[in-house]
Amino acid sequence: MTRTTTDQPARSASGAVVPVLAFAGIVVAVMQTLLVPVIKDLPQLLHTAPTNATWVLTSTLLSGAVATPIMGRLGDLYGKRRMLIASLAVMVAGALISAVTDDLLTMIAGRTLQGFAMGAIPLGIGLMRDTLPREKLGSAMALMSSSIGVGGGLALPAAALVAQHADWHALFYGAAGLGVLSIVLTLLTVPESPMRAEGSFDLPGALGLSAGLVLLLLPITKGSDWGWASGTTLGLFAAAVVVLLLWGLMELRVKAPLVDLRTTARREVLLTNLASIMVGVSFYVVSLVLPQLLQLPTATGYGLGQSMVVAGLCVAPLGLTMMFTAPVYARLSARYGPKVTLIIGLLVIAVGYAGGLGLMDAAWQTVVTSVMLGAGIGLAYSSLPALIVGAVPASETGAANGLNTLMRSIGTSVSSAVIGMVLANTADHVGGVAVPTMHGFRVSFLIATGAVAVGLLMALLLPGRRPSAVPQLVASSEEDLHLERAEAVLRGFRGRVLSADGSPVARAKVTLIDRRGRQAGATVSLADGSYALAVPASGAYVLAAKAAGHAPLASAASHPGDEVAVELDLSLPGETERSAVVPG
């Protein structure tokens, strides 16, 4: 059985937690993006064929896809801060290996280690849920979720500047330095999460998922080189389907699975993950198209003739706008809920791509497109962790957000393969060199618009929920949260935490535990003792309450599953009284 414990002493979270965790996400994005300016030069730099050089990028993608859900589950079991530091340490080691070599195999090994840092995003989101006050959680998770785009946008011009004026190995030394700084800041400012999911690590599940992901992503990323109808590509796709099906059957039989597929199959989780793939596709298209359009010579008739650095600066607003949308998301989500915010974000992306079809004639027009798409992608990315966190027990936050981050990675992988194929098939060949065409760029934007339309359909099918249904995510202040609770029609439990003399108990920790012994939710009572907790489904639960100066209480209760709030006051005994179980 898997249970959640909070017995470890928790340090209070400082105001530096959010920027430090967001910085860790930015460092990961920098690691992913730092080779983009030198992609076309990698074969010469590594003295190898172009098809071999692509493994430098493919290896990072594969290791990141494998590491993301695994590190999320390890964080749930052994501590999210501990696993975050481990992820960053492995990234630093990989960056240092890559910094001292021109050998292809050694470079691939270093880049594979760097990919493990992708687990930092879901781990950071989990730490925020576990340690931050609820009134800060919405904007904090939005910033963390958007950090992958923020870092990518900022890293492009910086990496281009370094690559243009210094030895390219300096890129890896810079990434290693940022990783060390992130580790130090995390150790100094971020407390360890008190949440633990008891149980053992599902090693067979990890190996099965790793094999399935490699078999799936390998033909996606290399299909254009091997041929999409080749025996190798089709064979790997077939093997991926078989392995992932067998893995899924095995996970359903395991008591403490790596990924709880029953939770993942919930409508809100499944649709959010499917929408995440589409957002990942839309994010990567602009990152692939605009830098190429900006750097193509004006002699082509449509290229904008900009330098590598200027091209990076024109695309940088994509990431900066994503960062600035975090507080906007918090306000929109508090008022309308993350589902509506996701829909708004997808609509803005669609407008950005549709407008971008006619804004390709000058560098300033690409900046406008970058700003519009950054705003939409920032809103969409910010909504995804809130939707996941609101639908899963706290003990599965790391693994669930790891899986969601993986879905985004699959989206970017699919985008890279499809757009690469489109640009290659529509290119003009001049002197043996393939030159992308404006037709290829516009087709790429249309594909991104189609992906957004599918994501919008997934978002519209998400179950509607008032913001108060997940009160731990949506209040901008304690007064706002108090008003929302008072007005809410909530599928869950609500009431007051009282002392033995009937006076309200503020800041009491109230935990909802399901019939399997796992945490299904947690909150803290307000100044008047009120609390509210949503339930994922009908059934029997235990509400555990504890507060300083009082003995803990465990109260059994059941919920019919309808959209109603079951009123239940929790009366905490004094320190000298024994904890009781109050029949529900």
DSSP output for 401-440:
HHHHHHHHHHHHHHHHHHHHHHHHHT-EEETTEEE--HHH
- pLDDT bracket for residue 184 (50, 70, 90): very high
pLDDT of residue 431: 66
Tens of pLDDT, residues 444-463: 889 889 999 999 999 998 87
Out of 61-70, 94-103, 120-129, give the one with best mean pLDDT: 94-103
pTM of the model: 0.66
Beta bridge partners of 546: 509
Out of 241-255, 262-276, 425-439, 560-574, give the one with best mean pLDDT: 241-255
pLDDT of residue 84: 92
Q: What is the mean pLDDT of the chain?
A: 78
> Within a 10 A sphere around the Cβ of 239, how many other Cβ atoms?
17
Q: Which two structure tokens, joined as six digits, stand for 446?
A: 């249309």
Q: Which two structure tokens, joined as six digits, stand for 486?
A: 């008072």
Q: What is the 3-state secondary structure (H, E, C) of 16-75?
A: CHHHHHHHHHHHHHHHHHCCHHHHHHHHHHCCCCHHHHCHHHHHHHHHHHHHHHHHHHHH
> Within a 10 A sphere around the Cβ of 169, how many other Cβ atoms?
15
Q: Which two structure tokens, joined as six digits, stand for 209?
A: 């998922």
* pLDDT over 90 (residue 104): no
Evaluate whether 397 touches 125 at the Cβ level (below 8 Å).
yes
What is the C-alpha to C-alpha distance for residues 517 and 533, in angstroms, rounded to an integer? Answer: 17
pLDDT of residue 9: 36
Q: Which two structure tokens, joined as six digits, stand for 435?
A: 């030159």
- pLDDT bracket for residue 467 (50, 70, 90): very low
pLDDT of residue 464: 64
